[in-house]
């Protein structure tokens, strides 16, 4: 099968069909959208063997990991569909005061889908953040049509997932234009899509370079559109002394496993470990050194990532004050990533912005601070993050409010005595953060609230009842939550 780049005319045809289908799909019932998402989940399950086999071949990820990721993807589709039908995200509200003089207008408001959405799949999650992943699921739940640009690192996997979506659309008797699947290894295909005047929003998971480029292209349009780009993070972990004194080896075991999980190819990998000079920190470092040496090199996703990891690691290790204190004892083979552990003083780290950047792969650095004041300077210097972690006792946390306030302003998820890898799919999850972690910190890419990226408010003033959606009509028996005069019904 050919996975050649789509031409400009093919892109035009896809977008035109998507835009035409939006006029109908945007008016579909919430139950219909729920049915579609469950049907997609069912088709993915039917194609599990083919999907996992293709992804294993294209990404070098083990089958056990891929099966777990597919389980997550299926759960996402079903849970977003269920959340869609419950309708809380519509934020339905009615304001009317018949007793006022002069009589005030009746205002009713809800959320409506924005329009066709382009989704750019990721390389490191071929299921959960790709063709049938969370961006596609949340956009379809919102009532938007979707065009997915397959990631060139796993085109066959993406093609199988796309066929599952297309079959589900047929099963649900919906228009084919609701979903389109395009190929494009060149930047030009991506540019054509994001700059097309009929595209209303963009979702992306990947590198800072790729996400920022899409954001800039969207801003250059005559009518700019939102780009929801999740671009990664170094996910700092702050190690406070009392907690570290109690559990230096246990914490080292947690963080060693976390930074090398999936060969370090998680956007939530802990890439900075910040502590203060102490015997406990020395014990922690010794244990990290021992554990890092035991890590077996493994295949990275593709040759491009292997090259970037190797060159970025060499660049970082060559910086002033950076000490390579441990690496996998076994040398990395072709295409493999070797675990690397470095150490640097806070003063050297603060002076060098290059050391603040993500290194995608099994690499982490320990930052040694002279005291708590210097640790606060490190926190102040951080850019926006997906996560920040505090390893501390409760009493330490109570006494560290300044640090906590700094971290709250710099991340989307604040973790206490845990690790950032592992992002639970649930309503309360926020997988996002201030720039450069994402391009819009108000929204997240995981959990049903991800639907909110692709909707906008619309208010009706003095609108005839029979022309309103059922849940905005005065005497509706709807189960959808709504506010009346500012009070939830």
Catalytic (active-site) positions? 230, 267
Q: Collapsing DSSP states into helix, strand and coil, what is residue 347?
A: helix
DSSP element (H, E) containing 212: helix 208-220
Rounded-to-integer distance, Cα 175 and Cα 166, Å: 10
Q: How many residues does the chain have?
A: 489
Three-class HEC string of the chain: CCCCCCCHHHHHHHHHHHHHHHHHHCCCCHHHHHHHHHHHHHHHHHCHHHHHHHHHHHHCCCHHHHHHHHHHHHHHHHHHHHHHHHCHHHCEEEECCCCCCCCCCCEEEEEEECCCEEEECCCCCCCCCCCCCHHHHHHHHHCCCEEEECCCCCHHHHHHHHHHHHHHHHHCCCCHHHEEEECCCCHHHHHHHHHCCCCCEEEEECCHHHHHHHHHHHHHCCCCCCEEEECCCCCCEEECHHHHHHCHHHHHHHHHHHHCHHHHCCCCCCCEEEEECCHHHHHHHHHHHHHHHHCCCEECCCHHHHHHHHHHHHHHHCCCCCEEEEECCCCCCCCEECCEEEEEEHHHHHHCHHHHCCCCCCEEEEEEECCHHHHHHHHHHCCCEEEEEEECCHHHHHCCHHHHHHHHCCEEEEEECCCCCCCCCCCCCCCCCCCCCECCCCCCCCCHHHHHHHEEEEEEECCCHHHCCHHHCCCCCCCCCEEECCEEC
Tokens of 380: 């102040």
């Amino acid at each position: 099968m050919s996975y050649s780049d789509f031409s400009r005319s093919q892109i035009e045809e896809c977008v035109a069909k998507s835009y035409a289908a939006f006029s109908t799909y945007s008016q579909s019932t919430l139950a219909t959208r729920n049915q579609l998402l469950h049907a997609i989940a069912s088709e993915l399950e039917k194609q599990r063997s083919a999907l996992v086999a293709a992804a294993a071949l294209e990404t070098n990820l083990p089958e056990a990991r891929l099966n777990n990721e597919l389980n997550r993807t299926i759960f996402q589709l079903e849970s977003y569909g269920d959340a869609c039908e419950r309708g809380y995200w519509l934020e339905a509200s009615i304001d009317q005061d018949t007793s006022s003089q002069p009589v005030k207008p009746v205002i009713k408001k809800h959320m409506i889908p924005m329009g066709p959405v382009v989704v750019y799949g990721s390389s490191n999650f071929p299921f959960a953040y790709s063709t049938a992943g969370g961006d596609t699921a949340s956009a379809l739940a919102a009532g938007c049509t979707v065009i997915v640009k397959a990631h060139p690192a796993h085109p066959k996997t993406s093609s199988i997932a796309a066929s599952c979506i297309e079959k589900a659309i047929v099963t649900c008797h919906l228009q084919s234009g609701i979903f389109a699947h395009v190929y494009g290894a060149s930047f030009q295909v991506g540019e054509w899509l994001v700059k097309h005047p009929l595209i209303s929003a963009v979702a992306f998971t990947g590198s800072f370079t790729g996400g920022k480029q899409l954001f800039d292209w969207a801003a250059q349009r005559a009518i700019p559109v939102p780009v929801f780009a999740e671009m990664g993070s170094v996910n700092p972990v702050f190690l406070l002394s009392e907690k570290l004194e109690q559990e230096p080896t246990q914490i080292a075991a947690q963080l060693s496993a976390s930074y090398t999980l999936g060969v370090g190819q998680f956007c939530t990998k802990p890439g900075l470990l910040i502590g203060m000079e102490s015997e406990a920190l020395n014990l922690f470092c010794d244990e990290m050194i021992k554990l890092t040496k035991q890590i077996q090199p493994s295949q990275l996703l593709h040759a491009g990532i292997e090259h970037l990891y190797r060159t970025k690691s060499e660049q970082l290790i060559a910086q002033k004050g950076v000490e390579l204190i441990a690496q996998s004892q076994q040398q990395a083979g072709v295409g493999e990533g070797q675990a690397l552990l470095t150490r640097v003083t806070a003063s050297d780290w603060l002076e060098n912005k290059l050391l603040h950047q993500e290194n995608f792969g099994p690499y982490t650095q320990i930052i040694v601070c002279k005291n708590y004041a210097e640790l606060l300077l490190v926190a102040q210097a951080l850019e926006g993050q997906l996560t920040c972690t505090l390893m501390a006792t409760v009493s330490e946390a109570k006494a560290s409010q300044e640090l906590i306030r700094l971290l709250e302003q710099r991340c989307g998820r604040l973790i206490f005595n845990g690790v950032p890898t592992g992002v639970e799919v649930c309503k309360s999850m926020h997988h996002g953060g201030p720039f450069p972690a994402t391009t819009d910190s108000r929204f997240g890419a995981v959990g049903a609230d991800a639907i909110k990226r692709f909707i906008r408010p619309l208010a009706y003033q003095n609108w005839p009842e029979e022309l309103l959606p059922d849940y905005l009509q005065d005497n509706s028996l709807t189960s959808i939550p709504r506010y009346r005069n500012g009070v939830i019904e």
